[in-house]
Homo-oligomer: A and B are copies of this chain.
C-alpha cells in the first residue's frame, strides 16, 4: 500500500467524442485502471497498458469500493460515467463508499472531472427548454420512496420549474414515467411541450417533442432524458426547419402557480 493512490471520477459527456472535454481526455490518459458500467467503459480507446473493469448498471457501490481498494494499493484509477459524474452518477456513489469505508480511503487523492450532462445536450438539440429555472429529478425509486418523487414533481411543476427526468423507465420500473405524466397533467396545460431526448449528439440520436396531453411513456427507454416544460415554455414553428422549443428568461407576475 502506498500514499500515492489517486482516483478520478470522469464525466465522458453524452456520448460523442466531440463532447468529451480535454480535461476528461487528459484524465483518461493519466489513469491505468478503468471502472464503470460496461457501455461507458467501452467508449474508451485505451492503450495496451490500461485495464478495463466493466460492471453492471445497478452495482454502483460495489464498483466504487473496488475502485477505491485498487487506488489504495497506490494505483491510478479512473471511474467513468456518461454525462457528468455528479448528476445521478458515480461521484455520489464514490463519496458514499468513502464515508462508509476504511480510513485509508479518505487519504486518497480524489479528482472529479465534470462533463456535459444529458439534459444540457438534449436541450441544445431543440432550442432552450431549460432557459429559465429548472430542476432535475431521477425517476428511479430504487433509492428513494415513490412518494418523495411524486412530492417533488408536484412541487416543481406547481412552482413553475421546467423538469428534466433522468432514469425515466426500465424493465424493472415500467409505470413510473406514465404515472408522472398523469400527475403533471393535473398541474400543467395539456399543450406543455415534452421532449424525449435519446443519445443526443450520437449517430443514433432521437429527439421527439409531444404535447403533455399526448405524452406516451413508451417513447422513452433507459437512455432517454425527458424534459417537461413549464406553463411558460414556447414553441417556434419554422416551416421546413425543426421547431425551436424554449423557456423565456422573463416571467410575468403570477405566471407560476
Jot down 22 A-B pairs with beta carbons below 8 A, ordered by A.
A11-B120, A11-B124, A18-B22, A20-B21, A86-B128, A88-B132, A91-B131, A95-B236, A99-B234, A106-B239, A107-B241, A112-B123, A114-B116, A114-B120, A133-B138, A138-B249, A143-B250, A144-B255, A148-B255, A148-B256, A155-B155, A156-B159
Shortest A233–chain B CB gap in Å is: 10
Contact flag A114-B123 (CB < 8 Å), given A18-B22, A132-B92: yes
Instruction: List residues of chain B with CB within 8 A of the CB of A239.
Output: 106-107
Q: Is A228 an interface residue (CB 8 A)?
A: no
Q: Chain B residue with minimal CB distance to A91?
A: B128
Give A247 to B91 CA distance when docked, in angstroms.
10
- Flag if B132 contacts A134 (CB, 8 Å): no
Q: Chain B residue with minimal CB distance to A151?
A: B159
Q: Is A87 an interface residue (CB 8 A)?
A: yes
- Interface bits A134-145 vs B (CB < 8 Å: 1, else 0): 111110000111
- Flag if B21 contacts A18 (CB, 8 Å): yes
- Interface bits A29-43 vs B (CB < 8 Å: 1, else 0): 000000000000000
Chain A residues touching B, majority SS: mixed
Q: Which residues of A contact B (CB under 8 A)?
A: 11, 13, 16-23, 26, 60, 84-88, 91-96, 98-99, 106-107, 109-110, 112-117, 120-121, 123-125, 127-138, 143-145, 147-148, 151-152, 154-156, 158-161, 201, 234, 236-239, 241, 244, 246-251, 253, 255-256
- Flag if A123 contacts B244 (CB, 8 Å): no
Contact flag A131-B86 (CB < 8 Å), given A147-B253, A155-B156: yes
Instruction: List residues of chain B with CB within 8 A of the CB of A134.
Output: 135-136
Give A16 to B22 CA distance when docked, in angstroms.
10
Other-chain contact of A133, B60, B137, B248, B251 (Cβ < 8 Å): B137
Give A98 to B243 CA distance when docked, in angstroms.
11
- Flag if B18 contacts A95 (CB, 8 Å): no
- Flag if B112 contacts A128 (CB, 8 Å): yes
Instruction: List residues of chain B with CB within 8 A of the CB of A22.
Output: 17-20, 22
Give A128 to B88 CA distance when docked, in angstroms.
10
Q: Chain B residue with minimal CB distance to A138?
A: B133
- Flag if B236 contacts A106 (CB, 8 Å): yes
Shortest A110–chain B CB gap in Å is: 7
